[in-house]
Amino acid sequence: MAGYLGKILRVDLSEGRIAIEERPGEFYRSYLGGRAMAAYFLAQELAPGVDPLGPGNKLCFLTGPLTGVPFPGSGRNSVAARSPLTGRFGESQVGGYFGAELRRAGFDHLIVEGQASRPVYLWVHDEQAEIRDASALWGMHTVEAQDALRAELGDPLVRTALIGPAGEKLVRYACIMNDVNHAAGRSGMGAVMGSKRLKAIAVRGHSNVPVANPEVIRDLARKISENQPLKAERRKYGTTNVTSGLNAGGGLPTRNFQTGYFEEGEALCAEALNASLLVGVDSCYACSLRCKRVVEATSPYAIDRRFGGPEYETIAAFGSNCGVADLAAVCKANELCAAHGLDTISTGNAIAFAMECRDRGLLREQELEEVDLRFGNGEAVVQAVERIARRKGIGDLLAEGVVRAAERIGGGASAFAMAAGGQELAMHMARQKPAMGLGYAIGPAGADHGLGLHDTALTNEGPGMLPWQELGILKPRPLTELSTEKVRALIYGQYWRTVLDSASICIFVPYSRADIVALLSAATGWNVSLFELMKVGQRGIALARLFNTREGFGRDDDRLPDRCFEPLPTGAMAGEAIDREQFERMVDAYYDMMGWDPVTGQPRRGLLLELGLDWATQ
Amino acid sequence: MMRVQVRLHGCSWEGFPSGTAERWVVGRQEVALPEGATLADLIRLLQVDEPLVCLVTVNGRAAGMGNTLADGDSVDLIPPITGGGRAPAGQDRASFPLASSVVALGRRF
């Protein structure tokens, strides 16, 4: 079967049992891999009401048919489980080398079940797997643990997916780090791994992934790799160069999303990073774009370059959203998150939440301890990250996520919890990008910018509209309009993004839809069409929704923080707010268009049948 | 003549035509314009590919293309910033004539 090894590795940590599972080709063609396959496994195999941090949860590492095939953007994988942060479908996308190496070791997917009685790690190599003792690794930060694993296994090219102390301590938004500096950040997958007492997965393989038509893949890889201006831009800035434009456009989350303009924003921009802390760039498997940042410093903070550097999301989360204009503090916070295994978005959001609660007199002196949680205090941000990772003092409260923390604080603190679907908002303002806000509210994994629509991508005639027109979205829409046309674009965008995240192809490599169709056909030998792929995306979203409704989430849970409905006070978008009644109408329209029942929220039977999901109608 | 400060903001958006990335994210630049010039005049003078401009602000406030500029104004030209998501790639592009899109956007404000 071209494009797949055809082997799913199942590891039961309770029983110490390892099994290899095979499935027919139709299964792979229906779900591809990544997110859609994650939705299949979670909806199919998890018992309703399963404890996200108990042995019944399953932690799935899923690749796509192109993972590990040498071309730019193929170094991705997905991690999925029921989220301990949101209680919903939990899934996170990550780059690096781990996914590619897992395939080279002979497996497409890895599903970890049960719970070990003591710390363990998995050693997966050349079609074999072993559960090994990890007592000596427990408590180590990510670089220490990776170094120790490579030394123990005697191979410096072993690739890892591992947790830091935050995952061990079940911080609800702990992440899993691929190769130490690539994060499966969202949904708290690190806490699930910690609950299973699984410190790390080490992989090494020597096989090549079989593909049907390698010439097509080589040609497309060459097209990207020979685009010198594209490579130069990605290497120079990565994602960090959106900071200044978002600030100038009034969409940079500032002081816990109170406004979209940060007066000191220039200090956080790409040029400032490049001129100060940036010492190099890094890459994922086989990618010529090298968009990852590498920073280093000795003072005022010692920052180890092995942990990489911040993405835009991280700069906004610890920078503007905490009112901090100190890039060194932002980069130190990023380094600590990589070391301890914390999602930078949720961590920054939680600290900003605490800062606003302090401002409003909702945190008592003893809760504040010695950390001076004021907006603008970069040192306090750095201290707070460590406390969250170790669940120390106020960090223990914030480690629960802003929704639970606000409930415990009481006194109206929930008004300052910037979360949707149980997850902290990403660094895109719903008042500047209202369809992004809609995506936050109804996304299968809670607030996830990866499944929202960037309204800014749909404002102009010209070449930017061409890929939308391929999907039947024919006309640009004004930036802050929230309309049924925007809802259509959001839905089609979610399907397409789920195609990429199921094929496990990076969104930052500019392949057209036709390129993706060609790549998947070339990998698998199937005559894949855009229609068929969009159905895979739709299948994934429908199953994730089915999972969520089974866990009791419905129409009443599709909410945004009240703040999103209040006018922005400053910046280019001053005065902009989402109209609440229109928002509710558009949530209803989304349900109608998706084929979801307006009362139960469940995907309708006809939709499931049309998607070939007969088994899910039972 | 009057002088305005202009900044072209960058983004990681593959709709950017090849070779222009360096031009964006260059910091503020001073541009001389005749009295009474509008934002549309400025964009024409800069030869900015108009579909790349998602939002224009003058002195920190959103503005339309017909907006008349004044000496000392500060102008930000902001591309379609998608951040962690993206607009999928379209076909390769050369240059496009001035489109009506930004004017339409201007009406929004």
> What are the tens digits of pLDDT across the range A507-564?
988 899 999 999 999 999 999 999 999 999 999 999 999 999 999 999 999 999 999 9
Residue B84 has pLDDT above 60, yes or no: no
Rounded to a whole number of angstroms, the distance between the first and last alpha carbons of chain A is: 30
Q: Looking at residue B7, what is its pLDDT?
A: 87
Residues of B with CB below 8 A from A265's CB?
A: none
What's the confidence (pLDDT) of residue B64?
87
User: Which residues in chain A have their CB less than 8 angstroms from residue B62's CB?
Assistant: 250, 572-573
Distances (CA, A) of A267 to A15, A323, A328: 53, 11, 11
Q: What is the DSSP letter of A570?
A: S
- Asked if pLDDT for residue A63 goes beyond 50, the answer is yes
Residues B16, B19: Cα–Cα separation, whole Å = 8
* Per-residue model confidence as pLDDT tens digits over A130-160: 999 999 999 999 999 999 999 999 999 999 9
Highest-confidence segment of A54-63, A238-247, A457-466: A54-63
Q: Which two tokens stand for residue B51?
A: 């579909």
Mean pLDDT, to the nearest integer, of A421-440?
97
| A255/A507: higher pLDDT | A255
pLDDT for B22 equals 52
Reported as a single tens digit per residue, the pLDDT across B39-61 is 999 988 887 777 778 889 999 99
Give the lowest-confidence range in A342-356, A415-429, B50-64: B50-64
pLDDT bracket for residue A75 (50, 70, 90) = very high
Q: For A228-233, which contacts have Cβ atoms below 8 Å and span 24 or more sequence positions?
A: A229/B18, A229/B19, A229/B20, A229/B21, A230/A289, A230/A510, A230/B14, A230/B18, A231/A288, A231/A289, A231/A290, A232/B21, A232/B22, A233/B10, A233/B12, A233/B16, A233/B21, A233/B22
Three-state SS for A355-395 is: HHHHHCCCCCHHHHCCCCCCCCCHHHHHHHHHHHHHCCCHH
**Chain B residue closest in CA terms to A453:** B85
Inter-residue contact A91 to A80 (CB < 8 Å):
yes
Nearest to A333 by CA among A344, A323, A346: A344
pLDDT higher than threshold 90 for residue B87: no
Q: What is the mean pLDDT of residues A556-579?
A: 96
C-alpha to C-alpha distance for A349 and A322, rounded to whole angstroms:
8
User: Is pLDDT at B103 greater than 90 in this prediction?
Assistant: no
* pLDDT at residue number B11: 60
Looking at residue B94, its pLDDT comes to 28
User: Do strands B2-8 and B29-33 pair parallel, antiparallel, or not at all (unpaired)?
Assistant: antiparallel
- Of the candidates A455, A450, A440, the one whose C-alpha atom is nearest the C-alpha of residue A486 is A455
Q: What is the mean pLDDT of residues B33-37?
A: 94
Q: Answer yes or no: are the C-beta atoms of A289 and A317 closer than 8 Å.
A: no
Look at B10 and A241 and tell me if their CB atoms are within 8 Å: yes
Distance CA A121, CA A98 (A): 15
Residue of A nearest to B99 (CA): A461
Which strand ranges, in their side-by-side order, compose the sheet holding B61-62?
Answer: B29-33, B2-8, B74-78, B55-58, B61-62
Of A248, A427, A462, nearest to B96 by CB-CB distance is A462
For residues A234 and A260, which has the higher predicted lDDT (pLDDT)? Answer: A260
B89, pLDDT greater than 50:
no
* pLDDT of A48 over the 80 cut: yes
HSE value, Cβ hemisphere, 13 Å, CA-based, for A147: 8
Give which of A206, A108, A95 is closest to A158, Cα–Cα: A206
The interface predicted TM-score of the complex, written ipTM, equals 0.82
Residue A576 tokens, joined: 């902009």
pLDDT computed for residue B82 by the predictor: 64
Look at A1-10, A215-224, A493-502, B13-22 and tell me which has the smallest mean pLDDT.
B13-22
Residue A421 has pLDDT above 80, yes or no: yes
Share of chain A above pLDDT 90, in %: 91
Put simply, the answer to whether A242 touches B81 (Cβ < 8 Å) is yes
Enumerate residues 16 to 45 of chain B having a beta carbon within 8 A of any beta carbon in chain A.
Answer: 16, 18-22, 25, 27
The pLDDT of residue B28 is 73
> Is the link from the previous residue into A24 a cis peptide, with omega within 30 of 0?
no
pLDDT score at A618:
81
A156-165, A444-453, A526-535: segment of lowest average pLDDT: A444-453
pLDDT at B29: 80
**Considering only CB atoms, which chain A residues are within 8 Å of B78?**
245, 248-249
How distant is the Cα of A551 from the closest Cα of chain B, in angstroms?
28
pLDDT at site A224: 86
- pLDDT recorded at residue B15: 45
Q: What digits encode the pLDDT tens for the residues A352-365?
A: 999 999 999 999 87
CB proximity B55 to A under 8 Å = yes
Residue in chain A closest to B79 (alpha carbons) equals A245
Mutate to test the interface with B, among A228, A242, A470, A474 (most CBs of B within 10 A): A242
Coil, strand or helix at A511: coil
Question: pTM for this structure?
Answer: 0.94
Is residue A200 predicted with pLDDT exceeding 60?
yes
Confidence class of residue A388 from pLDDT cuts 50, 70 and 90? very high
Residues on chain A touching B89 (C-beta within 8 angstroms): 467, 510-512, 515
Q: If phi over 0 gives left and psi between -120 and 50 gives alpha, with beta otherwise, what is residue A391?
A: left
**In which band, very low, low, confident or very high, does the pLDDT at B24 lie, cut at 50, 70 and 90?**
low
Predicted confidence band of residue A71 (pLDDT cuts 50, 70, 90): very high
Per-residue model confidence (pLDDT) at position A365: 74
Distance, in Å, from the CA atom of A327 to the CA atom of A333, rounded to the nearest integer, reads 10
Task: Inform me whether the pLDDT recorded for B108 exceeds 50.
Answer: no
Concatenating the DSSP letter of every residue in A92-146 gives EEE-SSHHHHHHHTT-SEEEEES--SS-EEEEEETTEEEEEE-TTTTT--HHHHH
> Residue A19's pLDDT is what?
98
pLDDT of A234 strictly over 80? yes
Q: Does pLDDT of B102 surpass 60?
A: no
Pairing of strands B55-58, B61-62: antiparallel
> What pLDDT sits at residue B80?
78
How far apart are alpha carbons A260 and B83 in whole angstroms?
15
**pLDDT of the residue at B52:** 75
Distance CA A500, CA A508 (A): 11
Rg for chain B (alpha carbons), in Å?
14
Where does residue A157 rank: exposed (0-12), middle (13-18), buried (19+ CB within 10 A)?
A: exposed
Strands (DSSP E) found in chain B: 2-8, 29-33, 55-58, 61-62, 74-78
Residues A57/A61/A65/A70 CA torsion (nearest 10 deg): 170
Nearest Cα neighbor of A98 from A181, A2, A186 is: A181
* Confidence class for position A225, pLDDT limits 50, 70, 90: confident
Residue of B nearest to A480 (CA): B108
Is residue A517 within 8 Å of residue A32, measured between CB atoms?
A: no
**Per-residue confidence (pLDDT) for residue B93, from 0 to 100:** 31
Neighbours of A472 (CB within 10 A): 9
| Nearest chain A residue to B19, by CA | A229
Return the pLDDT at A398: 97
Average pLDDT of the residues of chain A: 96
The Cα–Cα gap between A572 and A111 comes to 47
The verdict on B80 touching A (C-beta cutoff 8 Å) is yes
Distance CA A391, CA B14 (A): 41
Contact A552, A86 (CB under 8 A): no
B16–A466 C-beta distance less than 8 A? no
